[in-house]
Structure 1
Amino acid sequence: MKRSLILLYGVACYAVFFATFLYAIGFIGNLWVPKAMDSVRSTSVGAAVLIDLGLLALFALQHSVMARPAFKRAWTKIIPESAERSTYTLLSSLALILLFWAWRPIGGVVWSVENETARMALYALYAVGWALLLYTTFLLNHFDLFGLRQVWLQFRGRPYTHLPFKTPTLYRWVRHPLYVGWLTIFWATPTMTVTHLLFALMTTAYILIAIQLEERDLVAALPEYDEYRKRVPMLVPGTKRREGGSVGVAARRSAG
């Protein structure tokens, strides 16, 4: 019975994630959803900035703190280890849902591309960012990344095995193609409002900090990462590496 409940819990967590993922496409791109990033402003500029920064900070703290090995060791004393990743996925999704619900547009336009061909090109780039993001999750092992593999293995009564170190396709060009996808999503817009700029700047800063935290953990866990980091740039293909240390594996741990 316990195995079945954990499996159902993992599937439910994944369903919440997938619905949140679909809503995020519309929210960031101002497409189709009832409340998007650049909906009509309903509060003062100062209040909107403070609320939005608080929502982004809450997501960043949840996403990073729960991904640290020390937190995971403590957390799995409370919940089944097989449900840890599903719980992380669920709480990350809930943090995003809160952000969607409580987000306060600021208003104002930083730039607006008027040429229709250029606008369509930017929307296409936005779509490419989402496609790259989703594709990268499958390179990492999509089902392990979002907890389904863990709950399925426990349902079958089989022990969990960590994914091996590997560098498939995109991981031979950059260490963090998943973050390249996110950065493309955040910045590829034909109309950059003040609201969107605040979101893009803060999320970009978070990504750059999160990479350092993830790579520190990977150095400790994976000896092969050191040589990999020396060979492969972080985000931009073909750039010379000037960082020290070690990093980058196409496995769940590199995605938080």
Structure 2
Amino acid sequence: MSIAMQTGPNSPATTVSLAARLLTLCYGGLAYLIFLGTFLYAIGFVSQYVVPKNINTGPAPSLMTALLTNLVLMSIFAIQHSGMARRGFKQLFARFASPAIERSTYVLLASLSLILLFWQWEPMPSVAWHIDNPILAGIATAGGAVGWLIVLYSTFLISHFELFGLTQVVSHFAGRMVEPMKFKTPGLYRMIRHPIYLGFIIAFWCAPTMTLGQLLFATVTTAYIFVGIYLEERDLVAMFGSEYRRYREKVAMLVPGIF
């Protein structure tokens, strides 16, 4: 699914002071930079590259302590991520703050909940499986990289900067109105409805060595993705009606032509 945002010449933002609009722009820009750093750290955290703490580093507590801690951390992210994405929350937010910063606030809090997860994650280093064959191990590693690329590429297909709040704050600063969302299906969205989610699943599961901590993370996040798909598609049907229903009937959810 792709949503295109367009701007018009007039907006209530023109009645807001320059200082207030500049503050909104800086807030949205800061939220985006924090997201970008968090996303890059997430790649290193899950794939175990470069970052000072990844999913398997640090002293390992008891299995039960690690399990409970990690489930709580993932639950915090899931509740924030899904709750703030619902239309009801967006309407409530608009009663107390400018709609121009709603997406930036969502992105900022999602990033902070992920930072908390990275910081407090407890390793579970026991090995669930290990691929000994170097060729197969290389394929698994490459698959993880492909998954992250699918995620990033798919965000640009559906307007990367609108998705992470920059379009809204820039339009607000310029005094232009963001017009109603339009439905379109570019690139990968012609083959599957949720390529971003597919990319995450590939990135999380493609590992030549899978520890219990990685297995827990991949299992819980995959389950959450399916819950997220259900909630997101319910909102999209409410927003686009029969147009999205027809799209859902014709295009697979995650695997082209299958599922």
Q: TM-score, normalised by structure 2?
A: 0.91
User: Residue 229 of structure 2: SS of its match in structure 1?
Assistant: helix
Q: Is the 8 A contact 1:177 1:235 kept in 2?
A: yes
Is there any run of 5+ residues in structure 2 with no aligned partner, and where? Answer: 1-18
Q: Is the 8 A contact 2:63 2:124 kept in 1?
A: yes
Partner of 1:209: 227
Q: 1:218 aligned to 2:255?
A: no
Deviations 1:107-158 (A, max 9, x none): 2111111222222211111111111100000011000000000000000000
- For 1:128 and 1:42, the matched residues in 2 are separated by 30
The 5 Å alignment of 1:151-170 reads 151-170=169-188
User: Residue 184 of structure 2: SS of its match in structure 1?
Assistant: coil
The 5 Å alignment of 1:77-156 reads 77-156=95-174
- For 2:57 and 2:20, the matched residues in 1 are separated by 44
Deviation (angstroms), 1:175 = 0.6
| Code of the aligned partner of 2:142 | A
Q: Is the 8 A contact 1:41 1:106 kept in 2?
A: no
Q: 1:177 aligned to 2:195?
A: yes
Q: 1:30 aligned to 2:48?
A: yes
What fraction of aligned residue pairs are identical, expressed as a percent? Answer: 50
User: Residue 76 of structure 1: SS of its match in structure 2?
Assistant: helix
Higher relative CO (Cα under 8 Å, sequence separation at least 6) belongs to 2
| Code of the aligned partner of 1:200 | A
Q: 1:232 aligned to 2:256?
A: no
Partner of 1:244: none
User: Residue 165 of structure 1: SS of its match in structure 2?
Assistant: strand
Partner of 2:78: 60
Deviations 1:171-219 (A, max 9, x none): 1111101101010011010001111101111000000011000111111
Q: Is the 8 A contact 1:175 1:233 kept in 2?
A: yes
Q: Is the 8 A contact 2:60 2:125 kept in 1?
A: no
**Segments of 4+ moved more than 6 angstroms:** none
Q: Is the 8 A contact 1:41 1:107 kept in 2?
A: no
Q: TM-score, normalised by structure 1?
A: 0.92
| Code of the aligned partner of 1:230 | E
- For 2:150 and 2:96, the matched residues in 1 are separated by 35
- Figure out how many residues of one structure are paired with residues of the other and give that number: 240
Q: 1:6 aligned to 2:24?
A: yes
Aligned residues: CA RMSD = 0.9
